[in-house]
Amino acid sequence: MEKKNRAIFIDFEFTMPDRQGRKKGFYQEIIEAGIVLVENGKILEEFSSFVVPTRFPRLSERCKSFLNITQKQVDGGISLNELVNKLKSMDNQQPGLVITWGNMDMKVLRHNCQQAGLKFPLSGKEVDLSMEYKRFFGDQNQTGLWKAVQEYGREGTGRHHRALDDALTTYHIYKLVEKDKQYLKQPKPTTIGDRIDLSKLFNNFA
């Protein structure tokens, strides 16, 4: 993490077109947000909410079934404007890191903001943790979020495709990767000559 050691871990779930094909002008919209604000290794705030899509408010059957989300849940969510304001308040113009698993979350947020005429609310450096993970472990393919956790011998938090659970799981992987990076950076063990001041030793025998 960068100065102030702040990071915002974000996961969004999006609308999906039906298998039959896209409706005219369809684009993905955020329908659930999970956000975890971390400072100096401590969780300061967790936020979770459904979000009402504006362009296509009716969810496709495929979307409801895949995400296990009901129309009623989404209808009771906050507006995109409220989500943007929430992100803005958590960002608080203190640029840390904005960490997601994959690059879709930020792409969709940017596009949704453009479509609604809203200013993009985040000022921090964006990090795609899945690419960091891929580079760090030399995987040929990008790994799915929960597969990555299982490769570490852990289980994800809560349920996959629940936004806050996925944001928390992303945070857990971030901690594990950072720990491994620190381990790899550790200096080589000192030799016995480094540990003992030989001149003092020889003086004792002089």
Question: Which residues have a catalytic role annotated?
Answer: 13, 161
Paired sense of beta strands 30-39 and 42-50, if any:
antiparallel
Specify the DSSP class assigned to residue 152.
T
Is the dihedral angle over the CA atoms 127, 128, 134, 137 positive or is it negative? positive
Is the dihedral angle over the CA atoms 106, 108, 109, 113 positive or is it negative? positive
Distance of alpha carbon 133 from alpha carbon 50, whole angstroms: 28
Residue from 91, 80, 93, 87 nearest 30 by CA: 80
Give the list of residues 6+ apart from residue 88 with CB closer than 8 angstroms, or none: 121
State the DSSP string of 109-172: HHHHHHHHT------SEEEEHHHHHHHHHT-SSPPPHHHHHHHTT---SS-TT-HHHHHHHHHH
Phi, psi of 42 (to 5 degrees): -120, 140
